[in-house]
Structure 1
Amino acid sequence: MSFQRKRFRIEELTLGAAPMLAPIEFEAGPTNRDLMAELRAIRAQIVNGVHPAPASGESGTNKEIDASLAAEAAETKALLASYKAQVEQCEKLKIELDLIHNAIDQTKREIAVLHSKSFSGEEMAKVNGELGAVVGGTEEATQQILEAAEAIDQAATALGKVNSADQQQALSEEIQERVISIFEACNFQDLTGQRISKVMNTMKFIEHHIVQMMEIWGGVDEIKAHAPPVVDTRDDDAKLLNGPRALGDDGHASQDDIDAMFN
């Protein structure tokens, strides 16, 4: 583009009618609008993932941009992998927490059933009442049997000393009455069996739900692994007082062993 240079008045006065200076030629460059349009186009290509073709002398700059974008992509990929691993761990943790929540909820239900059906005041009072009745009935029947046996012994002794038929008849009738009294006293066994059956049913009910709670938390073997060791704190003769021997129990002396000590 060519521009006509203006000649100032001072030049006309000093130079007179000198020939006018030749016009100065300026090379037309890109306008500001063109530069901004080009920059916006390059930015749009970078955002869309399309890199502009490098111009001469600009290959180093584009390589730096590519390297920077590649580094950012690698960092983003590593970050996404880390987030994915954390999400997987959170999912596993949630599953474990759900299992624990369900186990606690089931245990609460088992405890509620035990409390309402076995450990409530009314039910435990009934169990204690049955056991008390067993003890009282056994004691009463034993006392009645002993008294009848003593009366029979006395009547039998007197029977051998009297000669009167009437006295002998009276003593015989007394002996028969005492025998009947013994038979009646022996009925305590049936009542005792019924009462103990009620207590055993309650114990089995409790045992069943305790086993259910153990199964909820991994089974009996898993619970035993956390059980503290049993320590016998009894001293001296107290360790020998284990009560009557049950069938199949070990650690008890037989009657033959006891008899051998007195021979």
Structure 2
Amino acid sequence: MNEKKFEEAKHLARELEDLSKHILNTKREIALISVQTDGGNFQSANFELDAVVKQTEDATNNIMTAAENISALSGALAEIDDPIARAAKIDEINNEVVTIYESCNFQDITGQRIRKIVRMLTYIETRIENMIRIWGASEIGQMTAGAAEEERAGASDEADLLNGPQLPGAAVSQNEIDDFFR
């Protein structure tokens, strides 16, 4: 009987040692995530995405305003006979064209911001994959399935419909929508 208890104690000690290793490895992965994401501060990613939205909105507004101004200026240009006044109006049109070119440069800055966020998310994804490997994919899969089921139970039907823009190839085509209503 003592032999059996001794074996059970050894088995329990091995299990605790393995558990301790898993916990230490997981702490290391979490620490790496914290270091990579400015101390675990995901707020910076939110600020970056907000800046992308704002810059895109501002650029679109600038482009639209410049296009409207060009339209008005070109209409007025047709009625000007004086060469000096005509040249001044052409300069105004050219200035609006420059505004459009400058506004189109927003994509460079937004691209840099988005790449920064993607790098952070890729790094976090790698760390999470390592933690899944540490704890075992099958156990995590069971926990994930349970959590997803709980989330679906709490989500509204309307939230399921709000998926935002679809990626190319993943969206339903206009022809498919038209066929649905025929």
Q: In the alignment, does 2:16 pair up with 1:97?
A: yes
Q: CA offset at residue 182 of structure 1?
A: 0.5
- The structure with the largest alpha-carbon Rg is 1
d(CA) in 1 for partners of 2:101, 2:38 = 38
TM-score (norm 2): 0.82
Q: Deviations over 1:122-180 (max 9, x none)?
A: x5343333223222222221121111111111112222333333333222222221111
Indicate the residue corresponding to 1:226 in structure 2: 143
d(CA) in 1 for partners of 2:15, 2:110 = 50
Distance verdict in 2 for CA 1:99–1:182, change over 3 Å: same
Q: In the alignment, does 2:162 pair up with 1:244?
A: no
Indicate the residue corresponding to 1:72 in structure 2: none
The 3-state SS of whatever aligns with 1:243 is: coil
Q: In the alignment, does 2:96 pair up with 1:178?
A: yes
Specify every segment of 5 or more residues in structure 1 that has no aligned partner in the other structure, as ranges: 1-81
Q: CA offset at residue 261 of structure 1?
A: 8.1
Q: In the alignment, does 2:119 pair up with 1:197?
A: no
d(CA) in 1 for partners of 2:167, 2:111 = 18
d(CA) in 1 for partners of 2:110, 2:174 = 28
Q: CA offset at residue 260 of structure 1?
A: 6.3
Q: Which structure shows the bigger proportion of residues in helix conformation?
A: 2
Q: Give the count of matched residue pairs.
A: 177
Distance verdict in 2 for CA 1:261–1:172, change over 3 Å: farther
d(CA) in 1 for partners of 2:39, 2:87 = 58
Instruction: Give percent identity, aligned residues only.
Output: 38
Distance verdict in 2 for CA 1:262–1:188, change over 3 Å: farther
Q: Deviations over 1:62-103 (max 9, x none)?
A: xxxxxxxxxxxxxxxxxxxx3323322322222122111111
Q: CA offset at residue 194 of structure 1?
A: 0.6
1:1-263 paired onto structure 2 within 5 Å? 82-118=1-37, 120=39, 123-219=41-137, 221-227=138-144, 228=146, 229=149, 230-231=151-152, 233-236=155-158, 238-249=159-170, 252-258=171-177
d(CA) in 2 for partners of 1:88, 1:262 = 70
d(CA) in 2 for partners of 1:86, 1:217 = 27
Q: Once superposed, what is the RMSD of the aligned Cα atoms?
A: 2.6
